[in-house]
Each structure stands twice: as C-alpha cells, then as structure tokens.
Chain A
C-alpha cells in the first residue's frame, strides 16, 4: 500500500488542497516544536546551574507561553480542516464511483461485485476519515518535523545527531516491515473475519428456517466453535503483527534513552553545556514522534485506504466508447440478433446461447425459456446495455441501412424505448409523479391506464390517492403493486418500443389478463413490444415467440436452432 496514493490526489480535488494545506501546517509545526525545545532549554538551564533567576528567564517563559498557545491553535485548525477535507473527498470519490458504476452497465462491475460496490459507496468509503484526519497529517509531519528537528540536533550536538541518524533509517525499515506484515495480517484477518462473519450471519439469517424445521439448537455449538477458531487464528497473526510494532517502539524509545545517557556523560566531562543538553533531550523524542504516530494510525487508516483502492479499481475499468451514429427510427427499423451468446458470470453456462431474434416494428414478440436461460440477459443485449461475446446485434433502418447496435449513440436509442424490468426502480415521489415520470399526462389518461393494470384499485384504497408519497424503492407498496405501477407507466409511454421483462412475476392470478390487455393496448397504438414470459396465456398474445436456451460452457454446445 502506498502511504499517499497519487490516484487519490488525481481523483479527488478536495484531497489535493488538503495535502497542500497540511504540508504547510506541518512546516509551521516543525518551527514551533523547535522553538519550544530551545526556549524551554534556555528557560530551564540558567536556573538549574544557578546562573539565573526568575527575572532573567521570565521573557523566555513568556515566549514559551506564546509558542504553546500557537501550537494549540494550529492543532485545532488542522483538525477542523481535516474533517472537512475528509467529508469532501469521500463525497467526490463516492460520486465518481457511482457515476462510473452506472456507466459500466449491468455486467461492467460484475454481478458478483455489485453488492461490493454498494457496500463501498454506502459504508466503505467513510473509512477514509481516519486516514485523512489522523494518518495523513502525521505522515506530512514525519516529512517536515522529523528532518527539521534532526537538523537542529545536528547543529547542537553532532554525536547525538549521529545516534539518531543511525537509528532513524531503521524506523522506516521497520515501518515497511510493519506495513508488509500488517498487509498480510489485514488480508488474512479480513478473509478469516469475513468467512467467520458470513458463516455466523448465515446461521442467524437461516434461524427462522432452522426453527421451522425444529433444528435450531444444534448450531449454537458451531457458533461457539467458529468464534474460538477465529480467536486462535487472529491471535496468531496478531502476535506477528504486533511484534514488528514492538520492535519499532523499542527502537525509538531506546534511541532516545541512548541519546539521554550519551549527552549526560558528555556533560560530566564538560564537552557540552546544559542548555544544549536539555534542548537535545527535549528534541530527541520529537524526531521520532511523527514516525511512531504514523505507525500507530496505520491500522485505523488501512480500511479506508483499502476502500479507496477498491474504488480506484472500479474507476480504472474502462467504459466502452459509446457509438456516435444517431439511431434510426424504431417505428420502422428492425432489430436483428444473430447467433448471440453471453457467458453467465461465475457459472459454467452460456445464457443465452446462439440466440437469433428478429424484432420487426409493430409486432409483439415474446422471448421464452426456462429460468436461467438468459432471457433478461437477452433483454440487456437488446437494450445495448451489454455487448455479447459472440454474435451480432444490428439495427436495419427503413432504407435498408444496417448499423451495429454498439455504433449507435446510446441516448438516441434509449429515447425510443420503454423498459419495465423485473424490479422497477422507484425514486421517492407521489404515485402520480411516478406514473407520469416527468411527462405531461392528463388525469383521465392516467386513470384509464391505471384501471387497465389494476393500479387504480390500489390508488382508490390509499387515503391520499394519487398524492400518496412513496419512499425509496417504492417503499409502501408490495412487489405486485410496484409492478402494476411500472406497467401503468409503460402503458403511458409514447416510445415506439416497449420491453416487458416478466411482467407477471409478482402478480396474482388475474394478472395475466392485465398483461394481455396491456400488451393488446400497446399493439393497437402501433407499438413494438418485446415480452419476456414463460406463461402460456401471456405467450398467446404474441405474434411471434422466440425460445431462449442456455448451454454449458464446459462442453461446446451443439448449436441449438430455434
């Protein structure tokens, strides 16, 4: 892990400004640390040697008080700004991450990783705060205070400076060792912790099921055993990880002790004066202090840095360049999928495999097949969200011009499509807002569409009717009701192509009627409909049915021709 990742500075403007400012406060702190040590030595030495009295040292003490006040102020200011910078950086990274993840599309971030990205955005990145507030300032202090104080010690007493200079390189050496061991430790701990945590959580999540089967008591011993093995594994790694930390601490403290003893003996022989000795004594620990702090805050900041690195991994994944050609008018254009295959992530299957589909304007086309056959994946291909590994997707305009789908300007393609996925996204708003979706829709048209989909019954039962506010994800409606809402929205769409993915999945018995009627309505108004379904009653409404099949990727599948 790099202490200061250049990508962080490149990606987050707030981080750049913060580093510059902190370097400034670091330099100022170095000056104050040195001033404090010298003033303290000059105030103390004359009194100890009985060469001075209070009036002689009073002005020095006064200056010392001023330095103390300034240091406190500087520390406060640094902390104040650190929090702000951390917040801003986290926000800038989060926005970049989310924007990029959306741009990458459904498979871009990897389906397995979509939860990982969600965790990163909602929680992981917040771990950057300790890195900004604690670790980074100490890192910059190590770059300012340590060399400055060492230089002053050199000017005062070269032998003490030599002692420090010999031990000092050992500190970064052990730091690297600490970092190296900690990284391994963190990884092992994380994977052990994650495994243990997952297993315990899995047991907790399955507890209702275990209870329903009357098998809930057994796993308690398993939970206990998991905890015990976790403790042993963690302690094993901690013994190693803390060992390097101990050596680091031993080195720095012992070096200070050696400087103190060395200075003491040279004082006895008169090679040094007390003022110099005291200044060296006060400065010696200050040389090491930032380095030790860097080590101390290393753990706390590791999570945040790891989160930032995972964010950069996502951000570094290239988004395929969008096409530039304007999409032909879908009212007249034909979409052709030829021999399209997509490998399912983490599964040894190709779904869909060798899919051929011709979607002609004005027809109702059903895509059918068993679960896992790749129907939704095929929809993503049609929408241009996913590029198939093999096969071609072309759009043929009315004049016969054929263009590959990925050469089309995405916005001009999507403008002509309304898509109802299996789980529609509902942003907060009133029911009316959600159905209208920013379009100008008359209450009559809305009620008409809602009656057809059965949403009107839901609306009638709500105390505020169409003005009922829904939360994120349509919180407040059941899955089936959400699907009715999405269907109503699609009915009111004016786009030439409507894609319905499993519109009956969460609906009750009469829902097939609803969908069939909705599809008929869409066809009457001249729309092209791509319908994903496996129910016979729904398929009956289609002009054309294309089966979708999956194949194992281990053995080369025999080309299945529909």
Chain B
C-alpha cells in the first residue's frame, strides 16, 4: 500500500471499493436531483409559455416532460440509495476482515492495548463510520458537483449573467455552509471532549457504584459532580452552536439571493428584448430547485470530519508493527517432545522496565515448573516472552533450537493468560477454540478433570449452554476451570498457565497440585509451567522459582527445599507500583 498522509484516504483505500460502482451510484444520484431541477425549469417554461395562449399542441411535449421528471426523481433516488449502501456494506465487510488479519499478524502489545479502555468497543463503530463516508460524504459531494454544474450550464445557456449569479450563490452555499458546519462540529468536539469524558466517568461511577454510594450516603456529592460536568459541557456545546446557526442560515439566503439576482438582472434584459420573457420565468424559478444538492453538503462535510477521526483510530491500530509468524516452520519435535529452553533471559514490556536477570529455564514434556512472585512483578510479560509472543529483552528463548518467536502451527507452547477470553458462544465451542475437533465426550472428560464436572451438569443445556460475552454469566472460579480444560484439550505439548487456580475457591491447592503432577494428573505427559503468587499446592512441581518483587530470582529449587524454608513470607509487599508496566 502506498503510504498516504490522510488517514481517511488510507482507510477508504482499505475498503477496496469498486470505483465503477461509485461512478454509477453518483450518476444515478445526480439523475435524481437533476430531475428535480429539470422539473422546475420545464414547468416554469410550460406556465410562462401557456400564459401566451399558444396552440395546446405546442405544450404537450413540455407537459409530458414535467410528468416524466416527476417520476424519475423518485425512481433514481431509490436506485442510488441501494447502490450506495451496497457499496458501503461491501467495503465495511472488507475493512473488518483486513483489520482482523492485520491485528492477528500484529504484535502482542498492540493486541493487549486493544483490551484497554473502549478501544475495542470503538472499532465496530469506527468501521461503520468509515463506511458511512461513502454514502453520506463522498456520494453527496459528487452528486452536488454534477447537479450544480448542470444547473449553472442550463441557466447560462439562456442568460449568462443569471448563470454566473447562480454559480456564485451555489458556491457560497456549497462551500461556506459546509465549512462553517464542520468548524462548528470541530469546535464542539475539541471543547467538549474533556467535559464529555468527565460526564461519562461520573455516570459510570454512579451506575457501577450506585449501591455503595447509596449506603455511604455519597450519591448527592457525585450528582453534584455530574451537574458541574454537565454545565461545562453545555457551555462548550453552546460555543459550537453559533457557527452552526450561521451555516444553517446560509442556504435560504443563497437560494433567495440567486432568485433575486435573476429577477434584478433578467427584468431589464426582458424589457430590453435580450431575454425571452418565457425564459425569464425559467431563469428566475429554476434556482429554487437547484440548491437541494448543495443543501446536503454541510452534513457531508461533518460526516467526512467524523469519519476521518474514526479512520485515524483505525489506522493507528492497523499500522502497528507486525511480528509476522513464520508460517513455514513445521510442527516441532518429531514425536511431540519439544523442549522450551530459556537462557540468560531478561524480558521487558515494550517501553517498560525489564525483569529477571539472566534466567535459565528448561521445560519439556513430563516436567512441571512453578514460578512464584508477587502480583505486579511482570508475570504476564514473562509468559508472553516464553510463549514467543514478545521478543526477549536479552538472552534467548528457543523451542527445539529455534527462536520461540517463530511460532509453529500448531504451536509447541500454548499460553493460558489470566485474562484469557471466554467467547460468547457455547461451552463446547469455547473448548474447541484450542482444537477444532474436540468431541463432546472429550470436552466432558476435560471439564471433569479440572473439577468442573458438577458445574457442567448443573448448566441448563450442558455443553451447549451459551456463555455471555467474556463470561459475564459465570463466576471467576468456573471461568478459570473452563480455561484450564481448554488448555488441556489443545494440541500443544507445553502449557504455560497464568494463575490457574485464582478465584477457584474450593480445592484450589488440590487442583494446582494435580496440574503439576505430569505423571498421572490431567496434564499427563505434558510440560507444565505455572505462574502463581501463592505457595499452596506446589509440592508436586519438579522445580520452584521464587521471584523478588523487583523481578530478580530470590531462590529456586525442589519443592522440599523451597517450601520447607520460605513460609508465608514468600510474597510480600503491597503489590506493584501504580501504573505497573506489566498490567495490560
């Protein structure tokens, strides 16, 4: 793709729309609005000519034309709307696919950023907004250009001075009004952004914290805060309303001026005999219909402005660096016994502080490892690095001698993050995310293995129960067990599990212990690496690595050695510094 500075141009380019379709839709739209202009012109001629009481036959052509234009307007408009919407919808489907593909190829930190704030929620609206620019922005602009040129040419053919006056008025209405409207919207957007964010934040505080605020009697304080934010918002909105008002007034003014100038210029010309009186009526009355096309331009300008904002966000998201997965790497380890080997590893979130100081680590099927560290130490970063989703800050992470970042398919290493996603679909489909051909029997067995059997049985539709978006309807513990079952069903021989038993209230230690027993547990024959901040249930790990709050290794060794010594003080400190780099 050739780089272009304007994000909207870039984004429209990504829509991959057919310009032939655009031209067709524009011509159809121009035909519709042109019909209205022609209707006005021909009926003006018809009436003016009729007043001279000619033989009726001379009027029949005009009468037919008037009726015809009365019909074509509606018909062509219908066609144009269908054509342009189809065009936009095609483009949006393409854009969504491209965004998905780009993000799938994108780096882990771009992806993690997605989950922050409302970025993700906005992607959908932004794509719609970019699609709308075709229907509501570009199309009206093209139509207005064609119709205005045609109207001016028509008038100029009869009476050049009136044509010129109409051109000037159209230009004012078609340029000044949209510019003012865009200015108004931009002013409002700029000045209200802060106030709007404040209103939203206070609204959410009220809604989510409503019960607590009610009990502690703080509701009125927060409502007062809301009122203050609303007042600031209203003031900012008012500032933008002034140019919007002028923009709205420009259109009737320009239309009136076009009619008036045609009258003022045409009347003496008619008296002087240079302009046919019948044509005077045409010249004076046609402008009344000629402004409909430009009347759509202020809205079109605003649409372009809004769509550009949306395009900027989309392009920022899509233009992130891509860590291309080398698709040619074959599935590793003949016999499915790959070895994950980290040497002298230091890892860091892009732009963040680094942790670990030269860690050596080996994970192979049949071996289990536990890394213990306080929350905020950067466990997510470490796991992403080990999974090959982040490049190491220094040192190496290799799977069977190849850098882990060159991930194979299926990957030798699978990562189950603490915030791993539960899809808004059935339990079974959620398990099939790891492997497409999981049978219901296998799914039930895996769920039972992680202690989710009773829960599954209690579900109204069992495996076919639909879970809400991001598991809104299941508890933290149930969710964790589901994620574990998913990891166990996957084909990867090496499993990285982030806090696998957090929120699991009953039997958390037993579950963790069973996961670490790679000789007879549910993860039999796999290599399991668990990251946790508790020491309970680690007695079956082959090795335990304890991290300091600053990310360095405090001690490592067998469970007996570690658990014997370091009792509950294993993790201390109230967590990470604020805005820890490793909490995506």
Interface contact B207-A235, CB-CB below 8 Å = no
Interface contact B75-A372, CB-CB below 8 Å = no
Interface contact B210-A47, CB-CB below 8 Å = no
CB of B162 within 8 Å of the partner chain: no
Chain A, Cβ-Cβ closest to B506? A370
Q: Which of A57, A117, A202, A457 contacts B207 (CB 8 A)?
A: A117
Q: Which of A105, A534, A552 contacts B210 (CB 8 A)?
A: A105
Q: Which of B90, B203, B408, B576 contacts A98 (CB 8 A)?
A: B203
Of listed B251, B492, B576, residue having the most chain A CB within 10 A = B576
Interface contact A48-B48, CB-CB below 8 Å = yes
CB of B174 within 8 Å of the partner chain: no
Contact of A197 with B574 at beta-carbon distance under 8 Å, contacts A209-B433, A254-B70, A414-B216 already known? no
Interface contact A383-B264, CB-CB below 8 Å = no
User: What CA separation (Å) do A460 and B433 show in the bound complex?
Assistant: 45
Interface contact B210-A118, CB-CB below 8 Å = no
Interface contact A246-B77, CB-CB below 8 Å = yes
User: How many residue-residue contacts, CB under 8 A, span A and B?
Assistant: 473
Chain A residues with CB under 8 Å of B78's CB are 242-243, 245-246, 249
Q: Which of B59, B94, B205 contacts A264 (CB 8 A)?
A: B59
Interface contact B47-A274, CB-CB below 8 Å = yes
User: What CA separation (Å) do A78 and B59 show in the bound complex?
Assistant: 42
User: What CA separation (Å) do A215 and B104 show in the bound complex?
Assistant: 10
Chain A, Cβ-Cβ closest to B124? A197
Interface contact B207-A101, CB-CB below 8 Å = yes
Interface contact B533-A508, CB-CB below 8 Å = yes
Interface contact B470-A43, CB-CB below 8 Å = no
What's the nearest-Cβ distance from chain B to residue A436, in Å? 13
Chain B, Cβ-Cβ closest to A129? B237
Interface contact B67-A211, CB-CB below 8 Å = no
CB of B268 within 8 Å of the partner chain: yes
Interface contact B252-A72, CB-CB below 8 Å = yes
Interface contact B214-A212, CB-CB below 8 Å = no
Interface contact B86-A281, CB-CB below 8 Å = no
What's the nearest-Cβ distance from chain B to residue A254, in Å? 4
Chain A, Cβ-Cβ closest to B255? A68
- Against A, the Cβ 8 Å flags (1 = close, 0 = not) of B207-231 are 1111111111111011101110010
Interface contact A101-B120, CB-CB below 8 Å = no
- Against A, the Cβ 8 Å flags (1 = close, 0 = not) of B77-100 are 110011001100110111011011
Interface contact A260-B46, CB-CB below 8 Å = yes
CB of B200 within 8 Å of the partner chain: yes
CB of A265 within 8 Å of the partner chain: yes
Interface contact B244-A235, CB-CB below 8 Å = no
Interface contact A118-B244, CB-CB below 8 Å = no
- Against A, the Cβ 8 Å flags (1 = close, 0 = not) of B383-396 are 00001010000000
User: What CA separation (Å) do A49 and B270 show in the bound complex?
Assistant: 10
CB of A217 within 8 Å of the partner chain: yes
Chain B residues with CB under 8 Å of A61's CB are 260, 263-264, 267
- Against A, the Cβ 8 Å flags (1 = close, 0 = not) of B526-546 are 000000011100000000000
Interface contact A53-B271, CB-CB below 8 Å = yes
Interface contact A455-B574, CB-CB below 8 Å = yes
Chain B, Cβ-Cβ closest to A91? B230
- Against B, the Cβ 8 Å flags (1 = close, 0 = not) of A450-467 are 000011011001100000
Interface contact B104-A207, CB-CB below 8 Å = yes
Interface contact B387-A101, CB-CB below 8 Å = no
User: What CA separation (Å) do A216 and B503 show in the bound complex?
Assistant: 28
CB of A543 within 8 Å of the partner chain: no
User: What CA separation (Å) do A273 and B50 show in the bound complex?
Assistant: 10
Interface contact B205-A472, CB-CB below 8 Å = yes
Interface contact B414-A198, CB-CB below 8 Å = no
CB of A75 within 8 Å of the partner chain: yes
Interface contact B421-A68, CB-CB below 8 Å = no
Contact of A268 with B54 at beta-carbon distance under 8 Å, contacts A68-B256, A105-B210, A427-B218 already known? yes
Q: Which of B67, B204, B219, B421 contacts A205 (CB 8 A)?
A: B421
Chain A residues with CB under 8 Å of B94's CB are 227
Q: A102-B219, A201-B121 are in contact. List 5 more A-B contacts (CB 8 A).
A: A118-B208, A202-B424, A253-B35, A371-B505, A372-B475
- Show 28 A/B contacts (Cβ-Cβ < 8 Å), sorted by A: A40-B259, A53-B267, A61-B263, A72-B253, A77-B245, A83-B245, A87-B238, A202-B421, A204-B103, A204-B114, A207-B104, A208-B112, A212-B389, A212-B414, A217-B104, A238-B85, A250-B71, A256-B70, A257-B39, A261-B63, A261-B67, A371-B478, A372-B475, A383-B215, A455-B574, A457-B574, A458-B574, A508-B374
CB of A210 within 8 Å of the partner chain: yes
What's the nearest-Cβ distance from chain B to residue A408, in Å? 13
Chain B residues with CB under 8 Å of A246's CB are 74-75, 77-78
Interface contact B240-A220, CB-CB below 8 Å = no
Contact of A105 with B81 at beta-carbon distance under 8 Å, contacts A371-B476, A478-B578, A478-B583 already known? no
Chain B residues with CB under 8 Å of A84's CB are 234, 237-238, 241
Chain B residues with CB under 8 Å of A250's CB are 70-71, 73-75
Interface contact A87-B213, CB-CB below 8 Å = no
CB of A94 within 8 Å of the partner chain: yes
Interface contact B249-A76, CB-CB below 8 Å = yes
Could you say which of B147-155, B346-354, B356-364, B563-571 contacts chain A?
B563-571
Interface contact A234-B574, CB-CB below 8 Å = no
Of residues 544 to 580 in B, which have CB atoms within 8 Å of A's CB atoms?
A: 568-580
User: What CA separation (Å) do A76 and B506 show in the bound complex?
Assistant: 68
Interface contact A118-B63, CB-CB below 8 Å = no
Contact of A234 with B89 at beta-carbon distance under 8 Å, contacts A212-B387, A215-B433, A265-B50 already known? yes
Interface contact B213-A220, CB-CB below 8 Å = no
Chain A residues with CB under 8 Å of B411's CB are 213-214
Q: Which of A48, A76, A245, A285 contacts B246 (CB 8 A)?
A: A76
CB of B403 within 8 Å of the partner chain: no
Contact of A224 with B114 at beta-carbon distance under 8 Å, contacts A76-B245, A257-B66 already known? no
CB of B284 within 8 Å of the partner chain: yes
Contact of A79 with B248 at beta-carbon distance under 8 Å, contacts A49-B51, A91-B230, A253-B74 already known? yes
Could you say which of B2-10, B275-283, B333-341, B441-449 contacts chain A?
B275-283
Q: Which of A198, A205, A410, A458 contacts B115 (CB 8 A)?
A: A205
Chain A residues with CB under 8 Å of B43's CB are 256-257, 260-261, 264, 281
Could you say which of A148-156, A328-336, A416-424 contacts chain B?
A416-424
Chain A, Cβ-Cβ closest to B568? A509
Q: Which of A64, A95, A122, A251 contacts B204 (CB 8 A)?
A: A122
Of residues 121 to 167 in A, which have CB atoms within 8 Å of B's CB atoms?
A: 121-122
Interface contact A48-B568, CB-CB below 8 Å = no
Chain A residues with CB under 8 Å of B158's CB are none
CB of A518 within 8 Å of the partner chain: no
Q: Which of A43, A231, A372 contacts B93 (CB 8 A)?
A: A231
Chain A, Cβ-Cβ closest to B478? A371
